Amino acid sequence: MARPSQQRRNLNLLMVLVGVVAGMTGLAYASVPLYRLFCEVTGFDGTPQRASVAPTEISDRTIRVTFTADVAAGLAWKFRPLQNNLELKIGENKLAFYVAENLESKPVTGRATFNVSPDVFGPYFSKIECFCFTEQTLQPGERVEMPVSFFIDPAILDNPALKKLNDVTLSYTFFRSADDGAVQQKVGQAENGQAGDAQPSPVN
């Protein structure tokens, strides 16, 4: 008589374990965008902030910004900064440029990740406009210049631990977008549609 009850408990336990595994899988997929959002809001792990306008307060203290670029495996792009470094005053809005070129024979969509180092600069490095805010699609052989509008938040002046740090590096890495396959599918469908509209050659 105890066997049905034991089987029922085993079935309930199995269902709970399946639910736990499904929940952990969902959290794993959600963790990447949630982590990125957390970093963008807090400046954690050297992630620059996003701002709508530049500050009106400009300090005489100067910061030197060095620019670097990298391309992840699986993306046949050239990507580099147009300037190695520049100097700006704290609170001053500056414009820098990167250039990207698609070396593939088909359209490719990429997305850039970014950070600053030392990490402690993250909460004070603010961007107004950046190509990293959205995905970038380049046609075969296309070369584009992409601007970055940024400033160093004057709030950094209130941090005594950063008084002697006057050099910061802004780094970008371009990855092939997870949605790049959908772009390729649309291109293929368009090409197939054009091919379907063509009239067959007459047969002699």
52, two tokens: 């709508």
Q: Is residue 148 part of a domain?
A: yes
Q: Is residue 58 part of a domain?
A: yes
Query: For residue 118, what are the CA distances in angstroms to 48, 77, 93, 167, 169?
Result: 11, 27, 20, 9, 7
Tell me which DSSP letter residue 102 carries: E
Report d(CA 137, CA 133) in Å as an integer: 13
77, two tokens: 């792009």
> Can you tell me whether residue 76 is helix, strand or coil?
coil
Report d(CA 167, CA 62) in Å as an integer: 9
Decide: 68 and 85 in contact? Cβ < 8 Å: no
Looking up residue 159, the CATH number of its domain turns out to be 2.60.370.10
Beta strands of 47-92 (E only): which ranges? Answer: 49-50, 62-71, 77-81, 85-89
Q: Is residue 143 part of a domain?
A: yes
Residue 125: its pLDDT value, please? Answer: 95
Decide: 107 and 187 in contact? Cβ < 8 Å: yes
Single-letter amino acid code for the residue at 119:
D
By C-alpha distance, which of 100, 132, 136 is closest to 113? 132
Residue 50: its pLDDT value, please? Answer: 83
Residue 10: its pLDDT value, please? Answer: 60
Domain that holds residue 82: 45-179
Q: Is residue 117 part of a domain?
A: yes
Count of domains forming the chain: 1
Decide: 152 and 64 in contact? Cβ < 8 Å: no
Report d(CA 155, CA 167) in Å as an integer: 16
Residue 21: its pLDDT value, please? Answer: 52
Q: Is residue 168 part of a domain?
A: yes
The pTM of the full predicted model, rounded to 2 decimals, is 0.67
Q: Is residue 132 part of a domain?
A: yes
Residue 40: its pLDDT value, please? Answer: 45
Residues of the chain falling short of pLDDT 50:
1-2, 25, 27-46, 182-184, 186-192, 194-204
**Owner of token pair 């970038």:** 136
Q: Is residue 31 part of a domain?
A: no
Report d(CA 153, CA 138) in Å as an integer: 33
118, two tokens: 């030392």
